Structure 1
Amino acid sequence: MQLIFDGHNDVLLRLLNNMQGGSDPVAEFRDGTDQGHIDGPRARAGGLAGGLCAIYISSGHFELRQPGEDGHYATPLEAPLERQPSLDIALAMAAIAYRLDRAGAWTLCRTTSDIRAAIEKGKFAAVLHMEGCEAIDKDLVALETFYAAGLRSLGPVWSRNNIFGHGVPFAYPMGPDTGPGLTEAGFELIRACNRLGILVDLSHITEKGFWDVAKTSDQPLIASHSNAHALTPVARNLTDKQMEAIRDSRGLVGLNYATTMLRADGQESADTPLSDMVRHVDHMVERMGIDCVALGSDFDGATIPADIRDAAGNQKLVAALAAAGYGTEDLAKICRDNWLRVLGQAWHEA
């Protein structure tokens, strides 16, 4: 079994929503549930050894715009969020992460040594990530506090705009050049992340924002859960030119399991074959090399192929990649080693 460190999941959002309905998040993760994609038992069954766990502030009940007769769709950007309620929700998610850590349901990690030690002990290695920085103030006071609390990765924007930058819509067919990039506050955020050692994630940002980060950041360029626009032309996917910049920085792209970002027709359907996942990996390896490709499932945040179903099904993807010709060393890089390399660089370990 290839152990996997995954670049993106939304399990904290699911746990928070269920806690508000009366569920115990520790018991739900530790003992398992039939909801969503990730819990301890299913992670162990599928070799999911850890990952970046998103603090994500939902805009409410989000739905993709239904496709027209031609299969095209363009979902409008969600409205910007207010900071104070966003901060309250972000703190609630961080508190859940700490409750799981104290209970031994997972281990919160701040270094790659922490990740390796947790994996060695058979504990889920969780790293706090922030997807969209609505909880962060312009003066970055909250950033310092979240860093002290263990935040080690962030994406300046989700697919909406905020004080730091602009996000891309969920739309097909459409390129990622959909609007402005970073604001002045956004440039300051990137510089602060470089100084502190917080990984900067480029998934969800506009193409202009991508290039703004590229010219500002001293880190490898990372898109934690994005795929190839050349194969699936949704606005959320990366162009070959963007991938070449990621390659040149020795960064990485994490394969997103979301079916809308895998299928040639950009549709949301669990009836999506594993071959679509393999062809995106093949394209990314061709454009960037094996050292720049990883996994970023988007578990608990997207419709994924039925053949995978949940975290327990991860080894089916590993088997499909092996059948496509990827050897043991290549699979180790895709499944975990590439993530550990770039995290170590972003966190000033190397």
Structure 2
Amino acid sequence: MKVFDLHSDLFTDIAMRRSQGERRVFDRLHYPKLKKGHVDSVLCVIWVEREFRKTSLARFRFLYDHVMADLAESEHAAVCRTVYEMVNNTDTDQVKVYLGLEGLTFMEAWEGASVEERVTCAFHDLDQKGFHHAILAWNEHNFLASGTGADNGHDPKGLSPDGIAAIKEMERLNWLIDVSHMDETSFWDIERHVNGTLIASHSNARAICDHERNLTDNQMKAIAQKQGLIGLNAHYEFIDPEKPSLDRLVDHAVYISDLVGTEHLAFGFDFLDFLTPYDTTVGAGGKTTGFESALQVPDLLERMAKRGFTQQEIERISFGNAMEVLKRHMKK
């Protein structure tokens, strides 16, 4: 069974290794693990780490250049920028890679005479490079929006006027707007201003695990009303505060499906096993028992079947739902 992972940070590992002289990082280290886990397609994000906030544009370009150099050498990665490339690579053994952005702080330093011009130019340039997805902020308050994990005393919170303009530009370009990492104020601001699809690529149910990165029932219902998706997150902090496990993650899957339907559930695993060697402020700490990496994805599918999901539902959740939404947001 094919799996579509809507959120991966593996680009960070690729860029770091390339910068240290390694080559063919995707083919050597990531492809074997993804294939053993039946991961056929993955939305990979460029994420500028917290320690590079003051030089975010330079860091973004560093990450992008190293990643694209590695993918250009790869025999096993098929970068999909258009619907044609999606369909043309459907039956290949390559892993289909989609380009996304986790946090847009770097856009404030893009070329342009004003913030509005810089944001518009950045979206245009990145659209030409094949990006069709973005999260406005990552664990921060930036010039566009307020995210989770940041100073709750920040004022004002929510979307700024530049954030509203960014959302409108994303819709004009038919980008996929992702609300994972948005605090509740920004989430509802985005929901009010977006006419099309919303996704939360890697967030679980707050009713089961009361963490600000997870979604309330009302948020999940709003995403469903926008014809969007909620991607199950494998990170231990968002599964259970005491005993994060594979079975507890399946509890999230059952809860979300019962609330909004299997047609709005997907996977956004957010695996961090490959980030542990780096001082990135993430990747360390606890683990989800029985679900630490892509190698264990088949175990998740098996547990879901045992919990009552039908084969058709599992196929939809694991691949079909994500494929359908991405097709709506790719260039023809």
Q: Equivalents in 2 of 1:42, 1:119: separation in Å?
A: 19
Q: Equivalents in 2 of 1:154, 1:166: separation in Å?
A: 14
CA apart distance, 1:113: 4.0
Aligned: 1:153 with 2:133: yes
Alignment-derived partner of residue 29 in structure 1: 26
Q: Equivalents in 2 of 1:179, 1:238: separation in Å?
A: 22
CA apart distance, 1:42: 0.6
Alignment-derived partner of residue 86 in structure 1: 56
Which shows bigger deviation, 276-285 or 118-127? Answer: 118-127
Conserved in 1, the CA contact under 8 Å of 2:18 and 2:66? no
Alignment-derived partner of residue 18 in structure 2: 19
CA apart distance, 1:105: 3.6
1:212-227 equivalent positions in 2, closer than 5 A: 212-227=189-204
Report the residue type matching 2:148 in the other structure.
V
Alignment-derived partner of residue 47 in structure 1: 38
Aligned: 1:328 with 2:311: yes
Report the residue type matching 2:267 in the other structure.
L
TM-score, normalisation: structure 1: 0.83
Conserved in 1, the CA contact under 8 Å of 2:18 and 2:25? no
Aligned: 1:279 with 2:259: no
Alignment-derived partner of residue 102 in structure 2: 131
Q: Between the two proteins, what is the percent identity of the paired residues?
A: 25
Report the residue type matching 2:56 in the other structure.
S
CA apart distance, 1:118: 2.8
Report the residue type matching 2:181 in the other structure.
H
CA apart distance, 1:249: 1.4
CA apart distance, 1:112: 4.0
CA apart distance, 1:224: 0.3
Which shows bigger deviation, 207-216 or 233-242? Answer: 207-216
Report the residue type matching 2:2 in the other structure.
L
Aligned residue among 243, 252, 260 for 1:288: 260
Q: Equivalents in 2 of 1:30, 1:345: separation in Å?
A: 29
Conserved in 1, the CA contact under 8 Å of 2:236 and 2:245? no
Q: Equivalents in 1 of 2:3, 2:82: separation in Å?
A: 17
Alignment-derived partner of residue 6 in structure 2: 7
Report the residue type matching 1:41 in the other structure.
P
Report the residue type matching 1:168 in the other structure.
T
Q: How many residues align?
A: 310
Displaced runs of 4 or more, over 4 A: 301-304
Q: Equivalents in 2 of 1:202, 1:179: separation in Å?
A: 18
Say if 1:281 and 1:119 are closer, same or farther in 2 by CA, change over 3 A: same
Structure 2 residue ranges without an equivalent (≥5): 109-114, 273-281
Say if 1:168 and 1:160 are closer, same or farther in 2 by CA, change over 3 A: same
Q: Equivalents in 2 of 1:107, 1:304: separation in Å?
A: 30
SS of the residue aligned with 1:15? Answer: helix
Report the residue type matching 1:42 in the other structure.
K
Say if 1:195 and 1:294 are closer, same or farther in 2 by CA, change over 3 A: same
CA apart distance, 1:170: 7.6
Say if 1:45 and 1:23 are closer, same or farther in 2 by CA, change over 3 A: farther
1:1-350 equivalent positions in 2, closer than 5 A: 2-20=1-19, 22-24=20-22, 26-32=23-29, 39-60=30-51, 81-82=53-54, 85-103=55-73, 104-137=75-108, 138=115, 139=117, 140=119, 141-169=121-149, 180-263=157-240, 265=241, 272-300=244-272, 302=283, 304-347=287-330
CA displacement 1:14-57 (0-9 Å, x = unmatched): 2222333x242x4222122xxxxxx0001111101121111000
**Pairwise CA RMSD:** 2.2
